[in-house]
Amino acid sequence: MRAAFYTRTGPAAEVLEIGERPDPAPGPGEVLVRVRASGINPADVKRRAGWRGMAMEHPLVIPHTDGAGEIVDVGPGVDRVRIGERVWLWNAQGGYGEAGRPFGSAAELIALPAAQAVHLPDEFDFAAGACLGVPAMTAHRAVHADGPVAGLTILVNGAAGAVGHMAVQIATAAGARVIGTAGSGQGADHARAAGAAHVIDRHRENVAARVMELTGGTGVDRVVEVDFGANHRTDIAVLKANGTIASYSSTSEPEPVLPYYAFANQGANLRFIQGFAIPAEARRAGERRLAELAAAGRLTVAIAETYPLTEIAAAHAHVEKGAIGNVVVTI
């Protein structure tokens, strides 16, 4: 099979290779998927780049945790009726350390546990399906992990990002009022189109003051946080008593120092979200909800650009530069 891979970390153009690799075979409880599209997430490019000294976890890595395609074979214990099924993939190259999978979705074929190949709704093509694993499931967990949101006000920081854009849609579909933040006019338009009632320009406006103005001084019930290190002081300033901050990243400051009493005096709840650590039942609930929203026409996947496998280095560079929408490699 043709695949993209790297044997050392570093700049995409220097370390990513395209070549032939042995075809995988499905083991017990696994399916073999002919990959048609491979989604790129920030975590994928960080691993490849060796972010913060991140070392190679395996001698050779085929990158990307998300993807979509069709099942072409199954291993022992998996019903053969699944052959031919269109699926989206999660945690294809997930986890960290030796427990992580070395071979992700940037290849023509992948064998992985059957539960990690989820039925792809007819409403989504393969490119859209390749953007569900991390962005949509992380967003669903961030919005719903702490109970129903109908009637609540939620602040989504980074509402134009891949996860944030999904979180806006998922929260509004569940009856929440969403206030988003964005870093550009284009991003603000993107967030509004997803359903955000208000979008704050984080570069030009005082986010905390604007949130309090929009909520009549009461603040928000929950926060979906893209960069905890950068935003935690603003988050706690606008959070209602006993509210929840659900954070899925802290890129700007991976080891933030918290003002303890600011959080304690609000009875604040902190929830940290990691895609491969989502509990099984919560994941199944997320899968069901995404299918429902897709069928109802209430979930849109924004694709910024697609690249052929031969241009995967350019695709990684696009993600590193920043994009409104998801970047996908077609295979």
What integer pLDDT is reported at residue 99 of this predicted model?
A: 57
3-state class (DSSP) for residue 111: strand
Give, rounded to a whole angstrom, the gap between the first and last alpha carbons of the chain: 11
User: Residue 150: left (phi > 0), alpha (psi -120 to 50), or beta?
Assistant: beta
In this structure, what is the dihedral angle of CA atoms 138, 171, 300, 166, given to the nearest 10 degrees?
-30
What integer pLDDT is reported at residue 97 of this predicted model?
A: 55
Question: Can you read off the two tokens belonging to residue 149?
Answer: 């949101």
pLDDT along the chain (331 residues), means of 10: 97 98 98 98 93 85 97 98 98 71 95 97 97 96 98 98 97 98 96 98 97 98 98 98 97 94 98 92 97 96 97 97 93 96
Let me know: does 217 contact 242? Beta carbons within 8 Å.
no
Domains annotated on the chain, with CATH: 2-131+301-330 (3.90.180.10), 135-275 (3.40.50.720)
Tokens 């189109």: give the residue.
193
| CB-count exposure of residue 331 (10 Å: 0-12, 13-18, 19+) | buried
Helices (H), 101-206: 126-129, 137-144, 162-173, 185-194
Nearest of 289, 319, 287 to residue 90 by alpha carbon: 287
3-state class (DSSP) for residue 185: helix
| CA geometry: angle 278, 238, 134, nearest 5 deg | 25
What integer pLDDT is reported at residue 89 of this predicted model?
A: 97
What integer pLDDT is reported at residue 197 of this predicted model?
A: 98
| CA geometry: angle 316, 113, 167, nearest 5 deg | 50
What integer pLDDT is reported at residue 57 of this predicted model?
A: 81
What integer pLDDT is reported at residue 95 of this predicted model?
A: 66
Type of residue at 143: V
The structure's pTM equals: 0.94
Type of residue at 241: A
Instruction: Report the greatest alpha carbon distance in the chain.
Output: 61
